[in-house]
Amino acid sequence: MTTTEEPLEHGDIENAMQPEDTPELRELYAGFEANHMVPLWTQIDDLMPMHPAPKAVPHVWKWSSLYPLAKRSGDLVPVGRGGERRAIGLANPGLGGRAYVSPTLWAAIQYLGPKETAPEHRHAQNAFRFVVEGEGVWTVVNGDPVRMSRGDFLLTPGWNFHGHHNETDKPMAWIDGLDIPFSYQNDVGFFEFGSERVTDYATPNYSRGERLWCHPGLRPLSVLQNTVSSPIGAYRWEFTDRALTEQLLLEEEGQPATVEQSHAAVRYVNPTTGGDVMPTIRAEFHRLRAGAVTATRREVGSTVFQVFEGSGSVVIDGTEQQLEIGDMFVIPSWVPWSLQGDTQFDLFRFSDAPIMERLHFDRTYIEGTDR
């Protein structure tokens, strides 16, 4: 849903349902408490605010701090059963210390040392990986080895066995994104251990899934049924880069190819449905020309960005933060934000938009436009 109405602010509204304090009223409230009841008239502002009032707060994590800490964990913490992954979750300062980047999303930096293997497991939660730097790791998803390289977006949909192995003498780090908080809150999580190693140590340039599905505009007749999540294991940077480049070139030619002036963007999609790659997570990539400024917008739901290339800034709720390669930031629900590129500015984005849209809670307000 898109609206042009100005966001409402809380006003001082007289509450006629606040009666005079009496011994009888205190007795009534004691009865409520004893029977695990809470009256709505004392809770309305928290339960039904005039607009979203997220407990999560905007926050920026600097790659210059994240990576050294992940590297140090590689020196001190082994990979294997028990912890399973050397992954460090980003804890939103407003969410009480939980490793949640937002109430619905989990984001982490994962670090795999030289020649290390992270054992296989599977879980109900949907997951992806995005690689901001490094080469030489393969993730094996349901027995299909998938190369991980810089700029690649890689999927591990829910209940797919997966493990990782590093074939090089150098470490590698990437970001993980999952719907762990949403799954935890709704009690839908399952987990199962798999192989102590990975089921296939092959190192192909392209996975079997890519060889079957990654041919533009073509769908294999052998797999005509739609799938809940995308069957593509890796969305390669070379194709993402080309798509963004062509959008900006078409804009220069006067064609309506960009989402706004000097702002190219693509969405990763499930080729069987044309919808989002997974039922709970949306993933996009954005490119701004140097000097470009996006419109300020508010959206229901949570969004996380990571800077892939270039430098620029984000203004979140009126506060500007400078950004460089690898930096990550979260935008909570209905908090206004905009981006500006100092150089060409490339950013990976993921959000909980499929959940909001499926439940019809989605809403967007864009300042200064009719959208």
Write out pLDDT tens, residues 135-158.
Answer: 999 999 999 999 999 999 999 999
Amino acid 178: pLDDT:
98
Look at residue 349 and tell me whether its pLDDT is greater than 60.
yes
Amino acid 57: pLDDT:
98
**Over the range 46-61, which residues count as b (16 or more CB within 10 Å of their CB) and which as e?**
eeeeeebebebebbeb
Amino acid 17: pLDDT:
72
Q: Residue 344 contacts by C-beta under 8 Å, 6 or more apart in sequence?
A: 287, 288, 289, 290, 309, 310
Look at residue 8 and tell me whether its pLDDT is greater than 80.
no
Domain boundary among 179, 214, 234: 234
Amino acid 16: pLDDT:
64
Q: Kindly state whether residues 185 and 283 are assigned to the same domain.
A: no
Domain boundary among 234, 250, 278: 234
> How far, in Å, CA of 352 to CA of 362, rounded?
10
Amino acid 90: pLDDT:
98
Look at residue 46 and tell me whether its pLDDT is greater than 90.
no
Q: Kindly state whether residues 163 and 230 are assigned to the same domain.
A: yes
Structure token pair of residue 349:
């984005």
Q: Kindly state whether residues 178 and 280 are assigned to the same domain.
A: no
Which residue shows structure tokens 């006003």? Answer: 11
- Locate the DSSP E strands across 28-105: 59-61, 87-89
**How many folded domains does the chain comprise?**
2
Q: What is the pLDDT of residues 160-193, one digit of tens each?
A: 999 999 999 999 999 999 999 999 999 999 999 9
Q: What is the pLDDT of residues 63-91, one digit of tens each?
A: 999 999 999 999 999 888 766 899 999 99
* 23 lies in some domain: no
Mean residue pLDDT across the chain: 93
The CA-atom distances, in angstroms, between 55 and each of 103, 167, 316, 336 are 9, 42, 15, 15
Look at residue 114 and tell me whether its pLDDT is greater than 90.
yes
> How far, in Å, CA of 276 to CA of 231, rounded?
12
Q: Kindly state whether residues 215 and 248 are assigned to the same domain.
A: no
User: Which residue range(s) make up the domain with 188?
Assistant: 59-234
Q: How many CB atoms lie within 10 A of CB 199?
A: 16
* 30 lies in some domain: no
Q: Kindly state whether residues 295 and 147 are assigned to the same domain.
A: no
Structure token pair of residue 281:
């997570």
CATH number of the domain where residue 218 is located: 2.60.120.10
Q: Kindly state whether residues 251 and 351 are assigned to the same domain.
A: yes
Measuring CA to CA, which residue among 161, 175, 80 is closest to residue 123? Answer: 161
Q: What is the pLDDT of residues 47-59, one digit of tens each?
A: 888 899 999 999 9
Domain boundary among 180, 202, 234: 234
Look at residue 260 and tell me whether its pLDDT is greater than 70.
yes
